[in-house]
Every structure is written in C-alpha cells, then in structure tokens.
Structure 1
Amino acid sequence: MKKIFLPVLLCTLAGITASAQSEGLTGSPYSMYGLGSLQQAGTGISNALGRGGIALPGDTGINNLNPASYASIYGKSFLFDVGFQSEYNHFENRLSNENKWSFNFSNIAMAFHVSDRSVLGITLTPYSNVGYTMLGVTTNIEGSDQQFESTITGSGGLNSIKLNYGYRLSDRLRLGASASYLFGSIEENEFFSIGSSYFEMSKTSYYNGARLGAGFQYDLSPKFTLGGTVLFPVKLSGSADRSVLKTINGQSISVEDESGDAIPGFKLPAEMGMGILLKPFKGLSVNADYRKNLWSDTHQNDNLGSFKDQDIISFGAEYVRNTRSMEYTDHIRFRAGFTTDNGYLSINGKKIGGYAVTAGLGLPISSNTGSMLNLSYSYGQKGQVSTLLIRENYHFFTLNISLEDLWFVRRKYE
C-alpha cells in the first residue's frame, strides 16, 4: 500500500494546486486589499487553540507554525494531514447588510523521518483568498460632469508550498528551517455601460516568489517549552494580462489586449513570533503566542490605505482526561482559545483589526496510532461600521483528518 501512497499523494497535490484558487474562495470584502484575505486555518490542532502553537511539539500531529516542531515527531511515524474550511460571513455598514457562505480546502501536509534526529515535511496551503463583488460603483467620466456605475468582482489568490525541516540537536533543543514557494493569480473584472455601449475590463495579476524561515523549540522543563520563529521578507515578482472589450449593437470589439506586462512586485514583511507551552498538571496544556509582522518596513500602499505593523496575540488550552484509559471518551481532546489581531491595513487612519474565539475537539479514529479527526469552530469579527469601512462577523469551521502510520514496524499476529 505504501508503494502507491506517495504517487497518489503527489497527484492529489497537483490537482489541488491547479484548482485551489480557480474561483472566489472567501466572502470577505476586505479581500480586495493587498493580496487578499490571508489564510486563517492551520494544520491539525492549532485551529482550535486560538490559531497559535509556536511551542507545540509535533508528537500529536503536524504543526506548520514552527519547523522545529517536526523534530519531535515519533521516530517511526509517517504523518498525513488534510483539512477543509467553511466560512459564513455577515457584513454590515451604515446602509445595508449581507450574508455569504464560502468553502475551501485549508491544507494538505505530510511529514516523515529522514534520520534518527531529523524530519522532513511538505505542506500545501492557500496563502491568501480573494472573493468580492462591488455593485453600483460610481465614477466620473473624465472631462465631463457625467457619471457611470460599474460592477467590480475579484477572485483568485495565492498558494504556498512549504518544505519544513526539523533537527533534534539534543533532548531539549530542536531547530528548524523552512523554504516556501508562493504562487497564484488575482483576477479583477469591471463591467459598465455608457450610453448604448457596454465595456468589460479584465485584469489578471500573477505573483510568485520564494521565502525562507527558521524556528526553534527548547524544553526548559518537562512542563515548560519555549518556541520562536522568523520569516524573512521577500518581494514577489508580478506580471499582468489586461483586456478591454467594447460591445455596440451586440458586436464585441477588442479595445485592448495585452499579456505578460510587468507590474510592481508585492513585498511581504519580516515576521517574528514567540510562544510558550505550559503543562500545569496531567492532561492539561496551555499555549500562548505573540507575533509581529513588520509591514511598515515594506513602504508600500494599497489604493485606499497604507500598510502598518501588525501584532497578533493568541491563547489556547487543551485537555484530555486519560490517554492510557480503555474508555474512548477519556481519549477525546477538548480545546479552546482566543486570538486578537490589530490588523496590517490602515484606512482613513483606522486599522482593520479583529478578534476570534475558538473551540474544538480531537476525536481519535485509531486505537493503535495517533490518527485523529480534528474539528474546530471560530466566531470572529473584523472592521467597524464607519465611513468606507464594513464590520464583518464570521463563523469559521475547519475539519482536519490527521493520520499516522507506523513505518518499518514488524506486525505480530497470534
């Protein structure tokens, strides 16, 4: 079975990569800014723990937040994690409100040992999602007092393929490095009419680039772990295709059709994070993270705002009654968390921040391995009701199937 598992996995990766960003996979109006709404969901258990876990080890599943965690994966384990997410959004401004559902895959990941002390992993995740519609956008006709209304839609986003490597330097210290490749496209379409003529303008922007990162985890004691991560800044390369169609009396005329034009690249900032993991008593673990993203250092602006430094704080807790018990209910893992984010985009001097409350369960699906069904729910809010801003309330659901197989272990049968 293992001989066919990797080819099937590679085909799955290729298929998801090709289709992951083929349409709008978020409902947030804030996805029109920058590269879109940045991905919220992670792998395994972190979704329910306030979306944090820099100091979490990898012994209970793949932790994509810190490459150093891979070094704590059990020596004969092959881990596989596939996740899905669904989001229900409620938008509100001073004039109206709207609801929208969206669905997307959240990750596909695997990890395996390459030596007694080192583990290699690969993950495919959406990096950003774009999916918005603006109706009745009013624009002045240049050189006159006339106006026209247009409909603007956006879709697409970027994906990230990340290679993680973790090395156990000692029984207490684990180091890690990561290399990710970001790629994808964002499409914007605008439709409007002037008199008897109809215009449709389309622009597809393509971005790609590589990014490096590093991390560590250190066990100060069996009950206290410290972790840290860094992602280095990078400028993504950009190009664009543009087209303008004019329709008169049912006949379409190409006004503009260009492809491969160079556009300014998009800068991603340096990102730094610190986290702790506490185990005050048997069965309970508590994690806390602080991350800072230095967007101000990119010195770039969006059409309606500017990028500012971002601070993210998260807390989480997990409780399992007794992992040695014969009762199934004693193995269920209960999780809860909270995260707050002051945002990285400032519009009219107001940053678009938000918060989320999370909860979830880890349901074992095997008595012989650590395979688990991880469920999480989040309720969150971002933005505010004011000029040019929208308050967004959302319900966010994730489902992760985390599988563990023990390789090179001789089975014994009686």
Structure 2
Amino acid sequence: MKKIIFFACVFTCCFLAANAQSEGLTGSPYSMYGLGIINQANVGKYNALGHGGIAMPGNSGINNLNPASYASIFDKSFFFDVGFRAEYNHYSNKINDEDKWSFNFSNLAFAFSLSKKSGIGVTLTPYTNVGYTLLGVTSNIEGSDQEFESTINGSGGLNDVKINYSYLLSDKIRIGVNASYLFGSIKENEFFYIGSSYFDMNETSFYHGVRLGLGFQYDILKNFSVGGTVQLPVSLDGSMDRTVTKTLDGTSVTVEDEEGENISDFKLPTELGVGIYFTPFKGFSVNADYKRNFWSSTSQTDNIGQYEDQDIFSMGVEYMKNARSLEYIDRVQFRGGFTSDNGYLSINHKKVGGYAITAGLGLPLNTNTNSMLNISYSYGQKGQLSNILIKENYHFITLNISLEDLWFIKRKYD
C-alpha cells in the first residue's frame, strides 16, 4: 500500500513539474537569448558541490551528472529525490537597478538497482528557464520619424526527461548511457499603443527532440576515481503559434492568427566532460570537473551576438565526521564548492561569463538509510557593466528531499 501511495505522489509531482514551465522560473534578463538560461540546479547534494560530480558514485544518492554512476547503487536500494528552488536576481546597468524573486520545482528523480551489476533511473528537470520583462522598448514607426514604446514579456522554457542506464563491467569500471527527451514552449508577448490604437502580439515557440549521451567511471584506486561524459549534438524541431490583434476606437481586430508555423531548428552542441573524485582521508572528499561545450560548431547566431565554445570548471568538497555516530551532528554533511563559466554567447567580441560560490548541508533523516534533507545556497554573478551594460548578481537556494528505501527485504518485525 505504501508503494502505491508513493508512486501516486511521484506521478502527481511529474505532472506539476512538467506544467511549471508555463511560468517564468528565473528573473534573469539573459533568459531572453536563445532558449533561455540553461538550468544549473541538479539532483540532491550536487548543487552544493559547485554543481559538479562527474566521477562521483551514486551509492548514497542519485547522481544525474553521469549515467555510469547508476551501476553503483547498492542492490535492492531505491532512491527518490524531489527538489525545490528559490532565486533572487539583482541586475543593474549604468542607469538603474532591478530585483526579482522566482520560486518553483527544480527536479524530480528516482533510481534503483536492477541487479548487482546494473542500475536505472529517470529524472525530470527544467533544461532552460525563461522569465523576463522589458519596459519602454523604443522603436520607430516605419516610414516616419515617430516612435512608440513597447512592453515585452517572456516566460516558459524546456523540460528534460532523462532515462539513465548503467552496467558494471568489473569491480572498478562502470559504463552508462542516457536518452533525453527535450520539450517545451517559450512564450513572448509584446504590447504597445500609438495614440488611441493598441497592438498586442503573442508568439509561442515549441521545441522538441531526443538527445543521447554516454559516460564512464573508473576507480583507479580505492580512494581515487575518474569519470567522463559525452552528450551528442541534436537539432530541436521548432514551430510557432502567432497571434496579432489591434484595437481601434474600442473595436478589436485580428491582424494575424497562425498555428504550427515552421521556424528554424535550435541546435544543441556536443558536450564533453571529465572529472576526478578522491578521498584524501576518512570523511573528507574532493571532486573537480571540466566541461567543454562546442557551440561554435552549431554555426548559430543570436540577434545581438554569436555562439562560441564554452568552458565550465567546477570544484567541491564534502566533510562528515562519522557516518555511524550516535551524535546527530557527527552525521551531518558539510559541503562547499565553486564554479566558473566563460559563457557561450559573444556580444561585441566579449563573452557573457559568470561564476558561483556554493555551500550546503546534508541533514540525515534516517539512521538506517541514506535519506537526506539537502540544502544548498549559491551566490553568483553574470555579465559586466563594461561589456553588455548589464551585470547580474543572484542568490540561489535549493531544497532537496532525498529518500532511500530498501526493497524486497524480509523484515524481522512488522
């Protein structure tokens, strides 16, 4: 009965999370470019570890960063993880400052062992987030010197449903494969008026596609592992619904109403990642990752810039005094990390990069399993006043309920 209730909750959360993308999940002005801001929130504890962990095993929680980690899930273990996020954005230019809060789901995931040598898992996460408002955008009326001001709003984004499978080749080598279905919509509304006339334009762009990936993990020593991942390139099919209406003397007229109009596909690049993970002494671990995304090979451009190769570096540390201690504080996991990103969009030959500092706690929920309440905080910055005239500082908080259950174990007592 408990498992029926559990799966009912899972599917309910899936429905809510999948539909959450109809609202803006970010307040970043950079979400107006491309498909929006690529989601940085991940599953479980990895948000506090500099958003890295390619070489880390998945025996204590779901690691969605490398499909090879799923073979390290202990036999008969089942993991479930649901996450929530809050983001505060403060952005400024040389004229004024603005602030915005946003709240929503960050992930839904479950994973379990298929056998002593294999594991599988499914995750649902926002892949990109869009949420921006532009006030007082000035344009010229065609054929005259008269100007008008528009208000533009954008919302939505893409979701990523990913299936991961992993197999243990030997006691030291794990390999994995994943398949992602990316889907979602991005809405943009533009409203303006000239004299007593009002114009309202609504565009909804739809994208979908399937992407494949591979990964491996190799335990070189008992306390030292390496890992690698590759995400293959894909072109996301696009279409658009567009409606334009105008109101003259109180009468509304539909100027344009199109559905399913073909638009250019959006290309996602090849992504390569490598990482290391080691425990220099008991209770203390270090992870470091490097990723390169080959955006220049997509030959795409944006209205204000072009796409260039992106480099991402992340590093994290974790400390727990004693996992078997009777003292609660000894079983608490303390985490910290750092990540830097040189960006993939170049404007006036200057890339929009950023960095983030992360910290967090893993609070045990059960003495017999790896169930945790994972809390993380990130402080980061994007852009500079000197390049595109917008600097964004953000505070990012995630809360993940990470649960473990042991299945098919005969209990001695009911």
Q: TM-score, normalised by structure 1?
A: 0.98
* Letter matched to residue 16 of structure 1: A
The residue that corresponds to 1:168 in the other structure is 168
Give, in whole Å, the separation in 1 of the partners of 2:86 and 2:38.
Answer: 15
Name whichever of 280-289 and 320-329 sits farther off: 320-329
Give, in whole Å, the separation in 2 of the partners of 1:143 and 1:49.
Answer: 56
Give, in whole Å, the separation in 2 of the partners of 1:14 and 1:338.
Answer: 33
Cα deviation code 1:35-61 (max 9, x no counterpart): 001101000111000000001100110
Give, in whole Å, the separation in 2 of the partners of 1:150 and 1:236.
Answer: 30
Tell me if structure 2 keeps the 8 A contact 1:20–1:126.
no
Q: Does 1:13 align with 2:38?
A: no
Unaligned 5+ runs, structure 1: none
Give, in whole Å, the separation in 2 of the partners of 1:251 and 1:221.
Answer: 75
Give, in whole Å, the separation in 1 of the partners of 2:349 and 2:95.
Answer: 22
1:125 is paired with a residue whose SS is: strand
Give, in whole Å, the separation in 2 of the partners of 1:266 and 1:390.
Answer: 25
The residue that corresponds to 1:230 in the other structure is 230
The residue that corresponds to 1:327 in the other structure is 327
Pairwise CA distance, 1:5: 2.6
Q: TM-score, normalised by structure 2?
A: 0.98
Q: Does 1:139 align with 2:111?
A: no
Give, in whole Å, the separation in 2 of the partners of 1:2 and 1:175.
Answer: 30
Tell me if structure 1 keeps the 8 A contact 2:69–2:176.
yes
Q: Does 1:45 align with 2:45?
A: yes
The residue that corresponds to 2:352 in the other structure is 352
Tell me if structure 2 keeps the 8 A contact 1:86–1:398.
yes
1:330 is paired with a residue whose SS is: helix
The residue that corresponds to 1:28 in the other structure is 28
Pairwise CA distance, 1:387: 5.7
* Letter matched to residue 13 of structure 1: C
Give, in whole Å, the separation in 2 of the partners of 1:387 and 1:284.
Answer: 40
Pairwise CA distance, 1:406: 0.3
1:182-331 → structure 2 map (5 Å cutoff): 182-331=182-331
Give, in whole Å, the separation in 2 of the partners of 1:9 and 1:361.
Answer: 25
* Letter matched to residue 15 of structure 2: A
* Letter matched to residue 349 of structure 2: G
Pairwise CA distance, 1:16: 2.3
* Letter matched to residue 10 of structure 1: F
Cα deviation code 1:191-210 (max 9, x no counterpart): 11122211001110000000
The residue that corresponds to 1:396 in the other structure is 396
Pairwise CA distance, 1:268: 0.2
* Letter matched to residue 41 of structure 1: A
Give, in whole Å, the separation in 1 of the partners of 2:275 and 2:104.
Answer: 28
Q: Does 1:122 align with 2:114?
A: no
Name whichever of 198-207 and 4-13 sits farther off: 4-13
Give, in whole Å, the separation in 2 of the partners of 1:387 and 1:308.
Answer: 16
1:31-110 → structure 2 map (5 Å cutoff): 31-110=31-110
Give, in whole Å, the separation in 2 of the partners of 1:38 and 1:344.
Answer: 11
Pairwise CA distance, 1:12: 2.7
The residue that corresponds to 1:2 in the other structure is 3
Tell me if structure 1 keeps the 8 A contact 2:74–2:116.
no
1:45 is paired with a residue whose SS is: helix
Identity of paired residues, percent? 66
Unaligned 5+ runs, structure 2: none
1:30 is paired with a residue whose SS is: helix
Give, in whole Å, the separation in 2 of the partners of 1:233 and 1:20.
Answer: 26
* Letter matched to residue 101 of structure 1: W
Tell me if structure 1 keeps the 8 A contact 2:134–2:152.
yes
Pairwise CA distance, 1:144: 1.4
Give, in whole Å, the separation in 1 of the partners of 2:204 and 2:360.
Answer: 38
* Letter matched to residue 66 of structure 1: N
Give, in whole Å, the separation in 1 of the partners of 2:230 and 2:80.
Answer: 25
Pairwise CA distance, 1:66: 0.2
Give, in whole Å, the separation in 2 of the partners of 1:54 and 1:329.
Answer: 28
Give, in whole Å, the separation in 2 of the partners of 1:109 and 1:389.
Answer: 38
Tell me if structure 1 keeps the 8 A contact 2:200–2:245.
yes
